[in-house]
Chains A and B, each alone.
Chain A
Amino acid sequence: MMRAWIDTLFAFSTTLRNVGRRRVTEPLPWKRLRAHPERYRAGFALTDDEHGEVACIACKACENVCPSGIIRVEGERRESPVTGKKRAYPVSFVLDMNACIFCELCVQVCPSDAIRMRTAWTIPGTSREDQVLTLERLRANAREGHLSWATPGRLRAMQDPERKNGEGGEP
């Protein structure tokens, strides 16, 4: 019986030692103790190409690969007002974040470096409809920034079996 008390007190001495240690919990939403790494994947954005037009070419690669089937892309071919060349543009791009599993496969397969994930991990909203991202909201997300490191091109360069040593590993 005495032994049990001694062992319990000894265990409590470890607890006391931990009282003085630095706090590791984060007092959200007031303060974050550490930033998410650059590869963190939370939201989505559709980036623009070098002419200021949406880079998406509505090829439906992301729609086909998405395991949850939450992406719907409708496209049409038209002439670019900037370059005058004809290519496909998305008419509507709907991404339902309610069922997203954040697997990054849409970024993995995108041929035109259009879709990227974001490190902004708060996705506020008051209804389920707020979590459905449209083409306009996705482009606004890209302008707002907080984009993850991984672009489709960087990801595939990192995974390339013929890449040279030390290439494509950063950050």
Chain B
Amino acid sequence: MVDAHPSHEPVAPALVEVSGLSLPAAITHLPRPDPYLNVEDYEPEADAMALNMGPQHPSTHGVLRLKLFLDGEICFKAVPYVGYLHRGVEKLLENRTAIQSVPYVDKNDYVSPLTGELALVMAYEALLDVEPPPRAQVLRTILMELQRIASHHLWLGTFCLDMGGALGGGSSVFLYNFRERELILDLLEALTGQRMHYNALMVGGNRHDVPPGWEEKVLATMDRVEDRLAEYEAMTVDNHIFRSRTVGVGVLDPLLALEAGAGGANLRASGVDHDLRRDAPYAAYGQVDVRIPVETAGDCYARFLVRIAEMREAIRIVRLLVSGIPEGPIGALKPPRHVNAVKLPPGEVYVGIESPRGELGTYLISDGSPIPVRVKIRPPSLHAVSLLPYLCVGATVSDIVVILGSLDPILGEVDR
């Protein structure tokens, strides 16, 4: 018999009011482990052991090193070490003009490069007080949602790969998801000319307009992606082994998530209804009614359900927008002809957008010279990694693999 999951129960969960927010009572104010626990003081019940997971570990999704202190098989302290992928992107951006810096942020979140580009470009636009034309805004929104589907496809594939062989054999779901992600990359390739590091946006608009017949291709691809998504749901949502690996594992207290600054599906799976696409609309999100999926269980399974629902919602937004792209230019400024084409006024701005992983922000300070004085990127994945010392305590090593996968951190973005 499959265990009941709160998300499947028809009864609304009990809510508790905390500083103006209605949070699910069952997971709020959970006991919180001490992340700074002195290992010498801990008295293990079984053999104590320190285990290094990563940096070269396939399930750490990059180069994250987790130092786990184990009591038998149960973790009692976890310390994440980041920085293996540090490239000094912020310092690089402080030595580049607005035109040169866009290709660099592609490499931060390499699973969804377009959101990184948009966060930077929108910061420059806010500083310059430039509004892109409607066609560019709608195109940007379509690109962001296509990128969200591609990003969640990769996440779903790797998440199921971490789960093991019960889901149709070894790496089946992984390979199927890559197959569908490839279809979306083909669309982006036809538009921008690249598959991963697009350099598709520039200050004031987009760099590329839609090629002929692209809209029909998008609609056909959306049909296929939605069709296949139902297959993956059938393989996972009610799968007994999948559920026993995820239900009740890595329960995230919404208060802890808010304190740590977590965002995206991690936050919404814990019952916090927050999404910048609806709460602070940018690009053309004001024109569509974005429905935000929220779950209240806070475990790995809830985060999985939220991301699947987000993929369906992204498909719906793309379908809505792609049939009615307004005519007109795609840029508000003259196309750049030299490196200093964009003159920055003095000032400072912060712009946050909803990347597939949460709030991705860019903080920009300019003193009026062509290059910014300071660029700070707020990566949502860093805040997801900062939850690990809390979520890993009390879990087995095999559960930690699932918890890490469900948080969906991208280490290129964490280390910058």
Contact = CB atoms under 8 A, between A and B. Distances in A.
Interface stretch (A35-43, A76-84, A89-97, A135-143): A35-43
Contacts of B169: 11-12, 15
**Residue of B193, B238, B332, B336 ringed by the most chain A CB atoms within 10 A:** B193
Given A36-B189, A163-B329, A8 B199 contact: no
Contact of A108 (B167, B192, B328, B336): B336
Interface stretch (B9-17, B80-88, B95-103, B297-305): B95-103
Interface string B199-240: 100101111111110000000000000000001001100111
A27 B137 CA distance: 39
A111 interface: yes
A159 B207 contact: yes
A70 to B, nearest CB: 13
A168 B103 CA distance: 23
A3 B242 CA distance: 12
B338 A156 contact: no
B176 A4 contact: no
Contact of B209 (A11, A14, A104, A158): A158
Given A14-B234, A168-B209, A169-B210, A3 B193 contact: no
B10 to A, nearest CB: 22
Nearest to A157: B335
A67 interface: yes
Given A64-B338, A67-B104, A103-B199, A11 B166 contact: yes
A170 B212 contact: yes
Q: Is the interface of B mostly helix, strand, loop or mixed?
A: loop
Contacts of B192: 39
B99 A7 contact: no
B209 A105 contact: no
A160 B335 contact: yes
A102 B197 contact: yes
Interface in A43-82: 61, 64-65, 67
Interface in B285-339: 327-339
A165 B210 CA distance: 12
A123 interface: no
Contact of B101 (A11, A67, A102, A163): A67
A61 B336 CA distance: 11
A14 B168 CA distance: 7
B179 interface: yes
A162 interface: yes
Contacts of A15: 168-169, 172
A101 B326 CA distance: 32
B354 to A, nearest CB: 25
A105 B338 contact: no
A40 B185 CA distance: 12
B211 A171 contact: yes
Contacts of B99: 65, 105, 108
Nearest to A67: B100
Nearest to A17: B231
B168 A11 contact: yes
Interface residues of B, number: 59
Interface in A124-157: 148, 150, 155-156
Contact of A170 (B133, B194, B211, B336): B211
Contact of B327 (A36, A161, A166): A166
Nearest to A170: B212
Nearest to A39: B193
Nearest to B212: A170
Interface string B325-359: 00111111111111100000000000000000000
Contact of A109 (B2, B234, B334, B338): B338
Nearest to B332: A161
Given A4-B166, A7-B240, A39-B208, A161 B193 contact: no
Given A37-B189, A102-B194, A158-B330, A169 B234 contact: no
Given A7-B240, A8-B166, A39-B190, A65 B338 contact: yes
Contacts of A102: 194, 197
A161 B329 CA distance: 5
A14 B166 CA distance: 12
Contact of B172 (A14, A38, A166): A14
A28 interface: no
A122 interface: no
Contacts of B2: 3
A100 to B, nearest CB: 11
B202 to A, nearest CB: 7
Contacts of A14: 168, 172, 231, 234-235
B211 A24 contact: no
Given A161-B329, A169-B211, 4 more contacts: A37-B189, A40-B189, A102-B197, A170-B212
Interface of A: 3-4, 6-8, 10-12, 14-15, 17-18, 24, 34, 36-41, 61, 64-65, 67, 101-105, 108-109, 111, 117, 148, 150, 155-156, 158-163, 165-166, 168-171
7 contacts: A7-B241, A64-B338, A103-B197, A159-B329, A165-B328, A169-B209, A170-B212
